[in-house]
Amino acid sequence: MKVLLADNPQHYAQVLASLQDKIAPVQKALDDYTALGIATVPTVSELAEMQEEPHSFLLKMLTNRQPITLTGGIPVSPEKAWDLMQKPAGAEEFAASIAGRFRPTETYYQLNRLNLDACELVNGRLQVKQSLKDQFKEESRVYATTQAQVDEWAQIKAIATALDAIRKMTHLGRTFDAVSYLQKALVATENLDDNRPAAGNPQFVVSPR
């Protein structure tokens, strides 16, 4: 048995918004890379290298992920290859901006780093994976697994509806404290058992407040 008791779209929206906030600077960097006119399209995993090693990332993109060698197959260090390679206008500025954009301090970087495993690239746009969205949505829901839980929730909703009506009648508005109200409005709220049910306190109703 699995019955949906409540959905919390606000929690879902907050979790999603937190991820979107972390996606935004990475998307901006990706847009800046695209503006360089380099033909190679990075994968999601390569965006981590873009943030951490922008020169190495650009070399990989400029060579379409092929190793760099001199005539005769002599390998070239990334640093030397960067100096020798013809680069598009703005490449140096892009690499320099990445370092300041993503790692002004290690603490900032760790707190704000985007988990790229949560993302996918769709037409050049970083998006939260649909499977993860579905997971977040499910985590924002509460389910009952027994009929007793379903029945109890129905009674709790009835109490909440009644308390809201009382709040409106007493004109207390936002100052209405439902928990405090119930403690005063009910008699014998402690050590209850099946033989001693809760009862209303009429004296509280007529007392000045």
Domain ranges of the chain: 3-138, 147-206
Return the pLDDT at 110. Answer: 63
CB-facing half-sphere around the CA of 82: CA atoms within 13 A: 14
> Contact, 61 vs 78, CB < 8 A?
no
Are 62 and 85 within 8 A, CB to CB? yes
Whether residue 154 contacts residue 172, with contact meaning beta carbons closer than 8 Å, is answered with: no
Query: What's the predicted TM-score (pTM) here?
Result: 0.75
What is the chain's pLDDT, residue by residue, as a tens digit (209 residues)? 999 999 999 999 999 999 999 999 999 999 999 999 999 999 999 999 999 899 999 999 998 998 777 666 677 777 777 787 889 999 999 999 997 788 766 666 566 788 999 999 999 999 999 999 999 999 999 999 999 999 999 999 999 999 988 888 877 667 888 888 888 888 754 555 556 677 888 888 788 76
Tell me how far apart the 2 most distant CA atoms of the chain are, in Å: 99
Q: What is the pLDDT of residue 129?
A: 97
Residue with tokens 């873009």: 50
pLDDT computed for residue 199 by the predictor: 81
Residues with Cβ within 8 Å of residue 112, at least 6 apart in sequence:
22
